[in-house]
Homo-oligomer: A and B are copies of this chain.
Amino acid sequence: MSAKAVPTMADIDQVFAGITRQEGVRYTALWLNEAGFRKAQATAQVDISAYLMFYTTDALSLRNNNCTAQEMRERQEKWISLYKDAGAPIESAYIVTAFGCNLQGEVPIADTVAAARHIIKLAREHEFPVPRIMLADTVGWADPEDVKRRVGAVRELAPDVSIGLHLHDTRGMGAANVYAALQMGVDMFDSSIAGLGGCPFAAHANVHGAGNVSTEDMAHMCHEMGIETGIDLDALLEAAQVAERVFDRPLAGKLMHAGRPNRHPVNNLVISTDAGAHRDST
């Protein structure tokens, strides 16, 4: 998520003009500053999903926003009034590098909690409902126990506030982090089709931004554990395959390559042997 990696908004008009809208789908956009929001707002067909952004470290905020974390906090007051003017309810508030920062190093849990406390304070001051607090593992430092600790600390601060996670699979712990979060009752995750984002095959050294956890792999994991998601997994896998064709390189999603487990295979070799009789013989 270095500034260089963030796609520009330059062609947002063309992107949204090219979308054939489906009923029941929200077509949202991301922005990093007020100009970006105004651009999104001015673009036909964009469904505004308003959010706030807070940084735990100055180093990343300086790189991404050219201002300190504190200055970024102050800018959020402007964002709030823009959203108010636009009649857009603030749905979520991101805490960026909530688990650690490549530029500044370790992020104390107290700093993550302080950002959450600030979000709650802003909501009270500006009289809007406390939005979902999204803990973002921007650079892939989170481990499952740290997920539990930080989600737990924020929940202790605000038991009634919804907490979500924005996870990357930078160091192979994405699925474990989702599982840890599920155990904490987290039910909102940012993820991407086929684990898109970042390019592990182009530049092996100094990959600072890897893809998000794969939507279909995580939906599958939920389903296997009996957690309903309302997601049509076959359609999602089809989308992942479309993405792979479009990008024309192997994507990080696993299920899309392995296929769903076949619970009732047709070519059951047992039928043609007497082996079935032995199955429960111990």
A interface, CB within 8 angstroms of B: 57-59, 62-63, 68-70, 73, 100, 102-106, 110-111, 114-115, 117-118, 121, 139-141, 143-146, 169-176, 178-180, 200-201, 204-207, 210, 214, 217-218, 220-221, 224-226, 244, 250, 253-259, 261-265, 267-270, 273, 275-276, 278-282
Question: Contacts A179-B180, A253-B172, A258-B207 given: A106-B273 contact, CB under 8 Å?
Answer: no
Which chain B residues border A59 with CB–CB below 8 Å? 265, 268-270
- Whether B104 contacts A265 by the Cβ 8 Å rule is yes
- Whether A103 contacts B268 by the Cβ 8 Å rule is yes
Which chain B residues border A253 with CB–CB below 8 Å? 172
Which chain B residues border A145 with CB–CB below 8 Å? 224-226
Question: Contacts A171-B220, A175-B173, A180-B179 given: A103-B265 contact, CB under 8 Å?
Answer: yes
What distance in Å separates the Cβ of A282 from its nearest Cβ neighbour in chain B? 4
Question: Contacts A104-B265, A114-B280, A121-B282 given: A144-B179 contact, CB under 8 Å?
Answer: yes
- Whether B180 contacts A278 by the Cβ 8 Å rule is no
For the complex with contacts A58-B273, A200-B257, 12 further pairs of A-B residues with Cβ separation under 8 Å are A58-B275, A59-B268, A62-B269, A68-B275, A70-B279, A102-B261, A104-B269, A143-B225, A144-B179, A145-B225, A204-B250, A204-B257
